[in-house]
Amino acid sequence: MNKMAVTCDKCGYRFKIPKTKKKRFLGPKEGKVFVHYFNCPECLTKYPYYIETDKVNEIIQKKKKLQKANKVEKDNDQITDNLKEMDHLNRIGRIEQELLKKHFTLDD
Ligand SMILES: [Zn+2]
Protein backbone atom coordinates (compact mmCIF):
# COMPACT_ATOMS: atom_id res chain seq x y z
CA MET A 1 0.00 0.00 0.00
CA ASN A 2 2.76 2.42 0.90
CA LYS A 3 4.39 2.14 -2.51
CA MET A 4 1.76 4.21 -4.30
CA ALA A 5 3.07 7.21 -6.25
CA VAL A 6 1.38 10.57 -5.76
CA THR A 7 1.76 14.07 -7.14
CA CYS A 8 1.88 16.99 -4.73
CA ASP A 9 -1.00 19.43 -5.28
CA LYS A 10 1.11 22.34 -4.10
CA CYS A 11 4.40 21.93 -5.97
CA GLY A 12 3.71 19.22 -8.53
CA TYR A 13 6.52 16.99 -7.24
CA ARG A 14 5.92 13.29 -7.91
CA PHE A 15 6.96 10.86 -5.22
CA LYS A 16 6.24 7.48 -3.66
CA ILE A 17 4.30 7.71 -0.41
CA PRO A 18 6.92 7.72 2.35
CA LYS A 19 6.53 6.15 5.78
CA THR A 20 3.56 7.81 7.49
CA LYS A 21 3.65 9.74 10.75
CA LYS A 22 0.72 10.07 13.07
CA LYS A 23 -0.93 12.91 14.91
CA ARG A 24 -3.30 12.34 17.80
CA PHE A 25 -6.57 14.20 18.31
CA LEU A 26 -9.38 13.83 20.79
CA GLY A 27 -12.76 13.95 19.07
CA PRO A 28 -15.97 14.97 20.87
CA LYS A 29 -17.74 11.77 19.84
CA GLU A 30 -14.96 9.80 18.16
CA GLY A 31 -12.68 9.63 21.18
CA LYS A 32 -9.09 8.94 20.20
CA VAL A 33 -8.33 9.84 16.61
CA PHE A 34 -5.02 9.17 14.87
CA VAL A 35 -4.39 10.94 11.62
CA HIS A 36 -1.73 9.02 9.69
CA TYR A 37 -0.10 11.39 7.25
CA PHE A 38 2.95 11.99 5.12
CA ASN A 39 4.79 15.05 3.88
CA CYS A 40 5.72 16.00 0.36
CA PRO A 41 9.53 15.57 0.48
CA GLU A 42 9.94 18.70 -1.65
CA CYS A 43 7.69 21.35 -0.03
CA LEU A 44 6.68 19.49 3.18
CA THR A 45 2.93 19.88 2.61
CA LYS A 46 1.08 17.45 4.87
CA TYR A 47 -1.30 14.91 3.37
CA PRO A 48 -3.65 12.80 5.47
CA TYR A 49 -3.32 9.17 4.38
CA TYR A 50 -5.62 7.28 6.65
CA ILE A 51 -7.53 8.20 9.80
CA GLU A 52 -7.87 5.72 12.60
CA THR A 53 -10.69 5.71 15.15
CA ASP A 54 -12.43 2.97 17.15
CA LYS A 55 -15.21 2.99 14.57
CA VAL A 56 -12.76 2.68 11.66
CA ASN A 57 -10.95 -0.19 13.40
CA GLU A 58 -14.26 -1.90 14.03
CA ILE A 59 -15.15 -1.73 10.34
CA ILE A 60 -11.74 -3.17 9.43
CA GLN A 61 -12.12 -6.01 11.94
CA LYS A 62 -15.57 -6.89 10.58
CA LYS A 63 -14.18 -6.92 7.06
CA LYS A 64 -11.28 -9.18 8.07
CA LYS A 65 -13.67 -11.58 9.76
CA LEU A 66 -15.80 -11.84 6.62
CA GLN A 67 -12.72 -12.30 4.44
CA LYS A 68 -11.56 -15.11 6.68
CA ALA A 69 -15.02 -16.70 6.78
CA ASN A 70 -15.22 -16.69 3.00
CA LYS A 71 -12.01 -18.67 2.68
CA VAL A 72 -13.65 -21.68 4.29
CA GLU A 73 -17.31 -21.04 3.48
CA LYS A 74 -18.87 -23.67 1.17
CA ASP A 75 -22.36 -22.22 0.79
CA ASN A 76 -22.43 -20.00 -2.30
CA ASP A 77 -25.32 -17.89 -1.04
CA GLN A 78 -23.47 -17.22 2.17
CA ILE A 79 -20.34 -16.30 0.20
CA THR A 80 -22.37 -13.83 -1.86
CA ASP A 81 -23.91 -12.36 1.27
CA ASN A 82 -20.49 -11.96 2.84
CA LEU A 83 -19.16 -10.25 -0.28
CA LYS A 84 -22.12 -7.87 -0.26
CA GLU A 85 -21.51 -7.08 3.38
CA MET A 86 -17.82 -6.45 2.64
CA ASP A 87 -18.81 -4.08 -0.16
CA HIS A 88 -21.09 -2.26 2.22
CA LEU A 89 -18.33 -2.00 4.82
CA ASN A 90 -15.95 -0.64 2.19
CA ARG A 91 -18.45 2.03 1.32
CA ILE A 92 -19.09 3.14 4.89
CA GLY A 93 -15.37 3.00 5.52
CA ARG A 94 -14.74 5.40 2.65
CA ILE A 95 -17.51 7.77 3.74
CA GLU A 96 -16.17 7.69 7.29
CA GLN A 97 -12.67 8.62 6.03
CA GLU A 98 -14.07 11.56 4.07
CA LEU A 99 -15.97 12.85 7.10
CA LEU A 100 -12.98 12.42 9.41
CA LYS A 101 -10.67 14.19 6.96
CA LYS A 102 -12.96 17.22 7.09
CA HIS A 103 -13.03 17.29 10.88
CA PHE A 104 -9.44 16.54 11.70
CA THR A 105 -7.19 18.64 9.57
CA LEU A 106 -3.44 18.85 9.87
CA ASP A 107 -3.11 22.63 9.59
CA ASP A 108 -1.39 23.92 12.67
ZN1 LIG B 1 5.11 19.50 -2.62
User: Tens of pLDDT along 69-80?
Assistant: 999 999 999 999
CB-neighbour burial class of residue 35 (10 A; exposed 0-12, middle 13-18, buried 19+): buried
Each residue's pLDDT tens digit, 22-61: 999 999 999 999 999 999 999 999 999 999 999 999 999 9
- Can you tell me the distance from the alpha carbon of 15 to that of 95, in angstroms, rounded to the nearest whole number? 26
The amino acid at 54 = D
Distances (CA, A) of 75 to 16, 64, 69, 84, 86: 41, 19, 11, 14, 17
63 CA distance to ligand 1 middle (Å):
34
- Residue 3: is its pLDDT beyond 80? no
Q: What is the pLDDT of residue 107?
A: 77
52 CA distance to ligand 1 middle (Å):
24
Band of pLDDT at residue 4, cut at 50, 70 and 90: confident
53 CA distance to ligand 1 middle (Å):
27
105 CA distance to ligand 1 middle (Å):
17
| Averaged pLDDT for residues 59-72 | 97
